[in-house]
Amino acid sequence: MVKYVRFESSPHPAFGILDGSAVHELGPPAAWAPIARTHRLAELKLLAPCTPSKILGVGLNYKSHLGSRPAPVHPEIFYKPPSCLQRPGGPIVLPRDAANVHFEGELVLVIGRQVRHVSEEEAAAAIFGVTCGNDVSERDWQHGGNKDLQWWRAKGSDTFAPLGPAIVAGLDYSDLLLTTRLNGETVQQQRTSDLLFPPARIVSYVSRWVTLEPGDVIFTGTPGSTRKMNPGDTVEVEIEGVGVLRNQVVAA
């Protein structure tokens, strides 16, 4: 199991391997060989661990999140723009006219190779690793009386996709404990074995229509129920073996 992080460095962001409290810097992605430079994690400003060309999400993908709604017959996919990415520790900014913004703690897949028209077996091999994500969602814009035709701002406003802290490769992500905490209170907790559509099936399904590129990410769905966030709140998404994604909520 290897944990990869991306961090602020001059003149360009750098990648590294996380080893406890140390980060061993890597060379350019084309080679990704370790170089003779090690940093203390506490001294680094972590960034979103990848720079995807596209972000996709799956709705209604946990049994515990369905409620009275019927289970979908295939993965229900939506887009979030790359511009909504937020780094670990960065603020979730509530837009001025937003009134009902919720957290959604999720397991996020990171694609490692180009994927197009692949089987589930091929899709599984194309997943480079996983990370933690928060699919921040404005429920009134998503489902309210004056909802938008598309979820472009409900799920795509700036800072609505916190991601990190690390991409973990070589981890068995089929049965991991996912926990979301709001101000220290556990508000979501479920194992990834509860997913209706497992990661390989999601990737295979998407690849029938959309080519996935290295670094693209897929939010796999949120368990249980969600809750409105307010300025001053702190949200943590923790996944067993991956780490803790922590972000504070602020007003615009």
In this predicted structure, what is the pLDDT of residue 34?
Answer: 65
CATH of domain 48-251: 3.90.850.10
Give percent above pLDDT 70 in the chain.
96
pTM (predicted TM-score) = 0.96
| 3-class DSSP string for the chain | CEEEEEECCCCCCEEEEEECCEEEEECCCCCCCEEEEEEEHHHCCEECCCCCCCEEEEECCEHHHHCCCCCCCCCEEEEECHHHEECCCCCEEECCCCCCEECCEEEEEEECCCECCCCHHHHHHHEEEEEEEECCEEHHHHHCCCCCCCCCCCCCCCCCEEEEEEEEECCCHHHCEEEEEECCEEEEEEEHHHECCCHHHHHHHHHCCCCECCCCEEECCCCCCCCECCCCCEEEEEECCCEEEEEEEEEC
Average pLDDT of span 154-182: 97
**pLDDT, tens digit (0-9, with 9 covering 90-100), for 184-222:** 999 999 999 999 999 999 999 999 999 999 999 999 999
Contact 177, 240 (CB under 8 A): yes
In this predicted structure, what is the pLDDT of residue 32?
Answer: 61
Q: Where are the domains of the chain?
A: 1-47, 48-251
CATH of domain 1-47: 2.30.30.370
Contact 24, 44 (CB under 8 A): no
pLDDT band for position 36 (cuts 50, 70, 90) = low
Phi (first) and psi of residue 216, to 5 degrees:
-65, 150
**pLDDT, tens digit (0-9, with 9 covering 90-100), for 42-78:** 999 999 999 999 999 999 999 887 777 888 899 999 9
Contact 58, 218 (CB under 8 A): yes
